[in-house]
Amino acid sequence: MLEYDGSSVTPGGSSSLTTSDTAFATPDFASANGVYCKYCGATPAVKLDFRAHRGLILFMQMRNLPGPYCRNCGIAVFRHMTADSLVQGWWGPISFVVVNPLTILSNVVNRGRIGRLAPPIPGGPSQPMDEGKPLVQRWQFFGFFIPLIAIGSVIASAAGSQSSSGSGYSSYPTYPRTTYTAPYAVIPSVPAVPKTTARTDPGFAVAGDCIHNTHGPLATDDDPVLVIVPCTDPQAEAEVIARPTGPLADNQCDTDYPEADMVFTHTTRYGSGPEIQTYALCVRMK
């Protein structure tokens, strides 16, 4: 416990108080900007959101921690949320190509804005968060290489198949290989929709419904299986704010329902086609 005894600090002389945080030595009161950190109450702060994305085969999950953030809390949350995304964000085609890169990019841009804030002025209602280790020193940072490895292995296998097809005929002109596809011979079969009671299937959720994850805790589960439950049910974990549909449903949660703090995206796939977003649940944790 570091005890501060004001009388032991002699003006102009050396102080016995040692602290690595120089902000406490010379607080810059002019930096107060009238915005206060949502987490510790300190100023200056800036209003922005940090996000974490989790890619899943059927459901995608977006966590959103809105600000305002002071510098310390912002750096702490940036590191935590981005570390999670680097590991959990790649597992699903849409997540891999679109959602996770944008999530990480948005966090990095916001990290730049946080970095331009002056340190929080001491004397706030509570202590700012511990920033923790820099992202590059966390084990999750290896997740940054997951897409590079995946893309690299695709290129390597493509290069390998090309070089073998031309071997032995190097003096002949090579013609582009034509791939014949059966013209619409294969009609994708729509998977049989399991008969469920309409009011437990989250696909029929309406605003005000509550959901429960039968597979594990909603906030941390990698493979949620959602059902509608009465909001009075102690199992109810989150309240549905809206259920937009269509390929951009998750964006609608972000833009139209900022009070949602989690987004579940339901995707479906017909035959061997790409996964298509069918609907999203914008929910607020209870």
> What are phi and psi for residue 65, nearest 5 degrees?
-110, 100
Window 119 to 158, contacts with Zn ion (CB under 5 A): 128
Stretch in the footprint of Zn ion (CB under 5 A) among 35-43, 139-147, 254-262, 272-280? 35-43
Stretch in the footprint of Zn ion (CB under 5 A) among 22-30, 73-81, 146-154, 220-228? 73-81
Stretch in the footprint of Zn ion (CB under 5 A) among 32-40, 85-93, 185-193, 251-259? 32-40
Question: By CB under 5 A, is residue 50 in contact with Zn ion?
Answer: no
Stretch in the footprint of Zn ion (CB under 5 A) among 30-38, 76-84, 109-117, 163-171? 30-38
Question: By CB under 5 A, is residue 37 in contact with Zn ion?
Answer: yes
Q: What is the DSSP string of 31-64?
A: G--S---TTT--SSEE--EEEEEE--SSEEEEEE
Stretch in the footprint of Zn ion (CB under 5 A) among 25-33, 71-79, 206-214, 231-239? 71-79
Question: By CB under 5 A, is residue 70 in contact with Zn ion?
Answer: yes
Q: Minimum Å distance from CB 20 to Zn ion?
A: 18
Question: By CB under 5 A, is residue 40 in contact with Zn ion?
Answer: yes
Q: Minimum Å distance from CB 78 to Zn ion?
A: 12
Residues 6+ apart with CB under 8 A from 183: none
Q: Minimum Å distance from CB 24 to Zn ion?
A: 15
Q: Minimum Å distance from CB 74 to Zn ion?
A: 7
Question: By CB under 5 A, is residue 67 in contact with Zn ion?
Answer: no
- 74 versus 143: smaller Cβ distance to Zn ion: 74
Residue of 262, 284, 200 whose CA lies nearest to 59: 262
> Using the rule CB under 5 A, which residue among 52, 62, 73, 282 binds Zn ion?
73
Question: By CB under 5 A, is residue 60 in contact with Zn ion?
Answer: no
Residue of 198, 191, 233, 232 whose CA lies nearest to 214: 233
Identity (one letter) of the amino acid at 242? A
Judged on CB neighbours under 10 Å (0-12, 13-18, 19+), 123 is exposed
> Using the rule CB under 5 A, which residue among 39, 50, 90, 279 binds Zn ion?
39
Residue of 267, 263, 262 whose CA lies nearest to 279: 267
> What are phi and psi for residue 95, nearest 5 degrees?
-60, -45
60-93 burial by CB neighbour count: b if 16+ within 10 A, else e? Answer: bbbbbbebbbbbbbbbbbbbbbbbbbbbbbbbbe
- 39 versus 279: smaller Cβ distance to Zn ion: 39
Cα(78)–Cα(49) distance, integer angstroms: 9
- 55 versus 67: smaller Cβ distance to Zn ion: 67
- 113 versus 269: smaller Cβ distance to Zn ion: 113
Q: Minimum Å distance from CB 73 to Zn ion?
A: 3
Residue of 132, 39, 131, 149 whose CA lies nearest to 86: 149
Cα(85)–Cα(91) distance, integer angstroms: 10
Identity (one letter) of the amino acid at 5? D
- 33 versus 162: smaller Cβ distance to Zn ion: 33
Q: Minimum Å distance from CB 72 to Zn ion?
A: 6
Residues near Zn ion, by CB under 5 A: 37, 39-40, 42, 70, 73, 128
